[in-house]
Amino acid sequence: MAGGTTSSARSKMKAKGVLDAGRTNSSSEDVANLHQLEAQHGILGIVLLLFCGTVSSYLCTYLPEALTAADLDRHPTAFIAERAWDNLQVLNDFGPKPTGSRANELGAADYIRREIEKANATAHAAQLVETAHQTISGAYPIAFLGNPLTSVYRNAQNLVVRLAGRSEDGERAALMLNCHYDTVASSPGASDDGGSCAVMLEILRVLSRAPERNRHSIVFLFNGAEETPLQAAHGFVSQHRWAGEVRAFLNLESAGSGGKEQLFQAGPQHPWLIEAYGRAVRHPAAQTVSEEIFQSGIIPSDTDFRIFRDFGHVPGMDFAHTINGYRYHTRFDTIDYLTLPVLQRTGDNILALTRELANGEELGRVGSDPNLAEGYSVFFDVLGLFFVSYSASMGRIVNVLLAVLSLAVPLMELCRQVRRVGERNVLSQTLVGLLGTVCGTAASVGVVLLVANRLDAVGRAMSWFSTPYLILGLYGCPVILMHCFAHRLCSHWFSDKKSPLNLTQTVRARLIGVNLFWTLLIIPLTLANIRSAYIIAVIVLLSLLSTILTSVLGYQGQPRRWLALHLAFQIPTLLWATKFYHLLVKLFVPITGRMGAGTNPEYLIALLVACFGLLCVSYLVPLVGLLKGTSELTARMTVFAMIAFLLGCCTQVGFPYRDESNGEPSVQRHYVTHTLQVAHRDGAVVSEGAGFLFREMDRNAVRVIRGVAKPAEAVPMRQMETCRTMLFCGVPFYSIWHQIRFNNYWMEGPSPAIEQNTLPTFELVRVHQNSSSVRQYSFEIVHRHQTCLQSALIIAPKPGVQLVDWSLMDTVPGTIEFNGERAHFVLITYGLADDAPWTVTFAFEYDPEHLPDGAGAKLFDVSWVNTYWEHGDKHTDEFRKLIDQFPEWAHVIPSVAVVNITAH
């Protein structure tokens, strides 16, 4: 017994001596070189973050040099931006080109047709160029925000070109490129989508002059009714003879004005498309997270991709410019705010991708090989320098493997270094690191939401709208401060003076806790099939590589070198994380100007900064444990936050909007509709009213509206007197998005100026009793005048009555609800004018025994709404004066509408 005790004691003393020796050696270096660092060294982390953010911002906006006509001899098969620019200049000079307007139906359509004819005339003899001018009418069901509507188009136009391929035998396969040349009212649409059409015209020129045909045919679709929404694309896929050949498409869009064209949707499934993109594109800009965000519905936009996917059942890729979304759908979407490099980069990428797809084997097999259609992809570009893609199934394996290794490797490495004596302390400090990260995340989210709430409460919402740098002070500084406080408090609460770990080992253990935090997040995201988990996976990978390299180089016991290596790996981490910050801030900040007033946009921006702030600082904040104190760091961060708060709340810097005087307009949007309301009964007018309808497009709009319309005169739409007497309040209901989601205000006024001969007619021509319980109504619609006008039919069956059939299409979609009433909503767009009447029929089923007025009972109410979008020369003096009262930094979209409500 005595001998055993002596041996055990000797063993413990030996182990203690080894550990003490190790601690003494490392401790001496710590004291001299690292422990503890001066407080000002914490500022270096902030400087590193800002530096990486600046570099990633530059890379996000970098564009290649543009080629001009002088480069044609040296690059005869290249995309020449200057030639595309000439086309864009002409399209821009037509001004706004909404569907139905003379500028769109006669001007832009004829110009594009002439350019297609020129390309045909200059095509190489080996090429076969076929053209088609499609004028289509049709209808289809679609839903927005879960509300069904029937979209009807009459005489919309498509200009289609087919560049025949070599493989004309057997089953034909074609690639389609799509753009739209129509615009919204009051916007020249240089970026949305004239630039894309100019790019397609140049690609057509380049490919048609090649001495050899492509393997597969290429269809170029220039569609004239996308903003209506998405109608001409449906006309093509449902009615054109070449639509059956299309096996894949590239859709060129824009939600901004310039910058890189982002690949933000692909497929669905069909991973071969992403693989082709990776092989072909020289300047990649593509992120899976963009696809998942767009498809979540948070962005108030849609594209022809939806039509090709849902009605054509064709896979494809969706591209859009997203920089400077302030100009999207405004008068500032002009050629003055675009540059040649924007067209050059887009043209280079789309031309290369077109060649890759049109000459690849997949296009010919996609119709017969189901394996090509299976599986989703994870894809992303790394700072625009190179492109990475892999299957979603591989992504799940990679994510889980990285999550496990990011815990196991550093944990084993650190435990091996401290041997058996400090293993428990390593685990406890790992949990401290996890707790600090969790508490920092919760605190940062709570604080930024509080700041967001207070800014909105004091009337300073969107102070960062024109000055996004304020976001860094308003929200970025509080995020970093909360993480620092959380880690310092956890360190103070759970410090162990008897721990065998030195300070460096303690910090390394807490960094393992950060890995544990990301593991607990990445695995659930992966199991939920959220492919955007790759963002975290890349950060975890960089942390793992840092740990492995530390072990290989033997830096475990050399704190200074370990710290230098750790910070070196934080540079790519910060570049990666700040890239996403810039990408989403540049996307969402302008979008807050058209999201309506129902949601506080401060919350969206605050949460975005909290999330990406966590990505940026998660592996930096635990290093505050190496500082002698954090008071200087936290004081400076607090000062920065206070300065930003003062700038946002008390100076002109925080005013959200700018006119064009500084060359960077960021306007507030306003839709104003001069409206005439008429209710009929048995052929006679029973009531009539008029006024102005204002739409509240952003959080601050109501103050401007009340300033223009006077608070006593502008009433919320649902408080209108007509909400008790007219179907759907008698408002010019043309958009589910604007009427149902946004707040609207009404001000009574004089009647608008209307030329009755330009108004589409909706007249009852026949009533037929099909059976004792089914009655059919026939109406004639006539639209003879070439003007930009949209109609809407709101059909509300009486209680106990049901619309069971109509001539618009084979099915009758469900109803939408507004003001406590339910009705079928039909949107009708007119392209080319037509003198021929169009007959539509509606069949209603009812129980005759329950009709209060017997056989002569009214079965339904109908609201026939007609909205003129380009009607400026017919505006009344009162309407012009009202529009002129809006400030220079406001973009007003005026319209004139007539609402006729009748019971039948």
Q: Are residues 357 and 471 in the same domain?
A: no
Burial class (CB in 10 A: 0-12, 13-18, 19+), 164: middle
Give the pLDDT band of residue 161 (cuts 50, 70, 90).
very high
Residues 468 and 512 in one domain: yes
Residue 173 · residue 249 · CB < 8 Å = no
Both tokens of 141, joined, read 């069901």
Residue 546 has pLDDT above 80, yes or no: yes
Say how far apart CA 645 and CA 17 lie, in whole Å: 56
At residue 9, does pLDDT exceed 60?
Answer: no
3-state secondary structure of 332: coil
Last residue of a domain, one of 384, 411, 430: 384
Nearest to 418 by CA among 26, 884, 852: 26
User: Average pLDDT in the 812-829 region?
Assistant: 94
Question: Is pLDDT of 10 > 60?
Answer: no
Residue among 616, 63, 59, 613 at smallest CA distance from 382 = 59
- 3-state SS of 35-47 is CCECCCHHHHHHH
For residue 813, tell me if it sits in a domain: yes
pLDDT, residue 232, reads 97
Instruction: Tell me if 614 is assigned to some domain.
Output: yes
Strand partners, 896: 674, 868
**Three-point CA angle 816, 822, 826, nearest 5°:** 50
* 420 and 567 part of one domain: yes
Q: Average pLDDT in the 635-664 region?
A: 90
pLDDT band, residue 420 (cuts 50/70/90) = low
Whether residues 757 and 625 share a domain: the answer is no
Between the CA of residue 775 and those of 846, 847, 861, 873, what are the distances in Å? 8, 11, 14, 43
In a domain, 148, yes or no: no
Total domains in the fold of the chain? 3
What stretches of 468-597 show up as alpha helix (H) in DSSP?
Answer: 470-471, 477-493, 503-527, 534-553, 559-591
pLDDT of residue 874: 87
Q: Which of 627, 653, 679 delimits the end of a domain?
A: 653
Among 359, 384, 409, residue at a domain's last position: 384
Are 167 and 364 within 8 A, CB to CB? yes
pLDDT digits (tens, 9 = 90+) for 304-355: 999 999 999 999 999 999 999 999 999 999 999 999 999 999 999 999 999 9
Q: Average pLDDT for residues 105-121, to the nearest whole number?
A: 97
- Answer whether residue 26 shows pLDDT above 70: no
Give yes or no: residues 190 and 291 share one domain: yes
Buried-state track 253-286, b at ≥16 Cβ within 10 A, e below 16: bbbbbbbbbbbbbbbeebbbbbbbbbebbebbbb
Mean pLDDT of the chain, nearest integer: 91
Q: Is the pLDDT confidence value at 186 over 80?
A: yes
Model pLDDT, residue 125: 95
Considering only residues 529 and 742, tell me which one the structure prediction assigns the higher pLDDT.
529
- Residue that the structure tokens 């709208």 belong to: 465
Q: What is the mean pLDDT of residues 645-663?
A: 91
**Interval 843-888: pLDDT, tens:** 999 988 877 666 568 899 999 999 999 888 889 999 999 999 999 9
Is the domain of 836 the same as that of 761?
Answer: yes
* 450 and 367 in a common domain: no
Residues 634 and 745 in one domain: no
Distance CA 458, CA 786 (A): 49
- Assess whether 623 and 735 both reside in one domain: no
User: Predicted confidence band at 734 (pLDDT cuts at 50, 70, 90)?
Assistant: confident
pLDDT tens-digit series, residues 359-383: 999 999 998 888 999 999 999 999 9
426 with 541, same domain?
yes
Taking 3-state DSSP, the helix, strand and coil percentages for the chain, each rounded to the nearest 5, stand at: 50, 25, 30
Residues constituting the chain: 904
With 80 as the cut, is the pLDDT of residue 77 above it? Answer: yes
Q: Coil, strand or helix: which one is 15?
A: helix
Among the listed residues 447, 517, 518, 430, the one whose alpha carbon sits nearest the alpha carbon of residue 482 = 447
- Same domain for 644 and 718, yes or no, is no
Q: In this structure, is residue 29 part of a structural domain?
A: no
Whether the predicted pLDDT of 25 surpasses 70 = no
Beta bridge partners of 143: 148
Please list, in sequence order, all residues whose beta carbon lies within 8 angstroms of the beta carbon of residue 599, skipping any fewer than 6 positions away.
Answer: none
Q: Give the C-alpha separation, 181 to 225, whole Å.
A: 8
Same domain, 634 and 740: no
DSSP state letters, 684-726: EEEEEEEEEEEEE-STTHHHHHHHHH-TTT-EEGGGSGGGGTS
The answer on pLDDT for 23 being more than 80 is no
Decide: 344 and 279 in contact? Cβ < 8 Å.
no
**In this structure, is residue 147 part of a structural domain?**
no
CATH number at residue 102: 3.40.630.10
> Is residue 791 scored above 80 in pLDDT?
yes
Whether residue 805 lies inside any domain: the answer is yes
Is the per-residue pLDDT at 576 higher than 60?
A: yes
- The pLDDT score that the predictor gives to residue 170 is 54
Per residue in 584-622, pLDDT (tens digit) is 999 999 999 999 888 899 999 999 999 999 999 999 999
Reply yes or no on whether the pLDDT at 825 is more than 50. yes
Instruction: Please tell me what DSSP assigns to residue 242.
Output: T
The verdict on residue 719 lying in a domain is yes
CA-wise closest residue to 591 among 608, 575, 578: 608
Q: Which residue has the higher pLDDT, 662 or 531?
A: 531
Question: Residue 9 falls within a domain, yes or no?
Answer: no
Residue 204 has pLDDT above 90, yes or no: yes
Q: Could you tell me the residue range of the domain that residue 534 belongs to? A: 50-57+393-653
